[in-house]
Structure 1
Amino acid sequence: MARILVAALVTLLITGCASNVVTDYNSAAVFGNYSTWAFMPDTGETSFISLDGSRVQNAVERELNIKSMRKVAEPEADLLVSWRIVEEDRLEQSGVGVGLGFGTGNFGWGISSPPPVREVKEGKLVVELVDTSSKEVVWRASSRRYLNEQQSPEKRGKLIDEVVAEMFTKYPPDLD
């Protein structure tokens, strides 16, 4: 019994330490050369920033300020920050299945129905830093936590703040 409890605790600890973001970077980039940044100009059809877009931009700006990077006009920037919320569809089971069975001795029959399933649209945040001189992505982070339509504005804002903060704990990358 003690072994099972210890194994369960170790599994819980390892799972709790799993990162909520995934990062990638160009190992040839010299991250110490970057000191200024700007948001990449939006090339979409809309001329406004969505509610989540404003939340993302505020969080990115806060995190880059913590890194002592200075926000400047686009032509003067070392890095351009690009971000997007990638929509993904996920199937979600809700409730429980129902089953019925009968039988005698070693023989029986059963029938069951699976739990109801519905499609949920979720958004995964992706942030990229682009070197302005080479026009190449030098750092990328994506979230493993998702925004969905059922979240309140407060919960969405808190989630975006947490995810962006965790992303930038991995910037600049540890090049050991």
Structure 2
Amino acid sequence: MAIRVLIASILMLAMAGCASNVVTDYDSAAVFGNYSSWAFMDETGEGQSVVSLDGSRIRNAVERELNRKAMKKVSADEADLLVAWEIVEEERLESYGVGFGLGFGHSPFGWGLASAPPVREVQEGKLVIELADTSTQRVVWRAASRRYLNEDQSPEYRRELIDEVVAEMFSKYPPGLD
């Protein structure tokens, strides 16, 4: 019996490890073989903006992955695809510590009191990357991370996480090659 439980546990862990950390969507009418060049959407020449630390990490990862796809980085007015990204802020509740319980009684019945563990709000960010066709001005491919960035992560961990997530996103580009 214990061996069955152990085998079932190992199988469940293996299946959980196979779950994807990103979700992608795409326009099935788009001909992805026609795209050979790209630019970041905000590099249209309309004013300069400051790039955040995570923004720089994301840009570097996207550029690396699109280079691996043999796509050429060009100016925005020459590009087949424009790359847009954002970190979507989300809140979640996280419990920490332990609750306390107390009970009394006899036979199968009794009374009890318990307190819930303390809860705090945690701000997290989910990375979303979109590729838009410059001729139609429509998004043709989108990827969203299931892993989150948060303020408790070190700069090195954030860079590694962004690199891993962006690599996994672009492993599903172009669609249909999985």
TM-score of the pair, normalised by structure 2 = 0.93
Describe how 1:91-130 pairs up with structure 2 within 5 A: 91-130=93-132
Which letter does structure 1 place at the counterpart of 2:96?
Answer: S
2:91 to 89, 92, 104: 89
Structure 1 range deviating more: 6-15 or 79-88: 6-15
Which letter does structure 1 place at the counterpart of 2:33?
Answer: G
Distance in structure 1 (CA, Å) of the matches to 2:55 and 2:91:
20
Describe how 1:71-82 pairs up with structure 2 within 5 A: 71-82=73-84
1:57 to 46, 56, 59: 59
Structure 1 range deviating more: 143-152 or 9-18: 9-18
5+ residue gaps, structure 2, are none
1:131 to 130, 133, 136: 133
- In the other structure, the counterpart of 1:15 is 16
Which letter does structure 2 place at the counterpart of 1:121?
Answer: Q
1:119-154 deviations in Å (ceiling 9; x for gaps): 100000000000000111000000000000100111
TM-score of the pair, normalised by structure 1 = 0.94
- In the other structure, the counterpart of 2:71 is 69
Contact 1:85 1:125 in 2 (8 A): yes
Q: What SS class does the counterpart of residue 14 from structure 2 fall into?
A: helix
Give every structure 1 segment of 4 or more consecutive aligned residues whose post-TM-superposition deviation is greater than 4 Å. Answer: none
Q: CA RMSD in A?
A: 1.8
Distance in structure 1 (CA, Å) of the matches to 2:106 and 2:138:
70
- Give the paired residue count: 175
Structure 1 range deviating more: 103-112 or 3-12: 103-112
5+ residue gaps, structure 1, are none
1:33-73 deviations in Å (ceiling 9; x for gaps): 10000000179x98201110010001000000011100000
Task: Report the CA distance between 1:9 and its aligned residue.
Answer: 1.6
- Percentage of matched positions with identical amino acids: 71
Task: Report the CA distance between 1:86 and its aligned residue.
Answer: 0.1
Structure 1 range deviating more: 79-88 or 105-114: 105-114
Contact 2:43 2:76 in 1 (8 A): no
Contact 1:27 1:175 in 2 (8 A): no
- In the other structure, the counterpart of 1:34 is 35
Which letter does structure 2 place at the counterpart of 1:152?
Answer: S
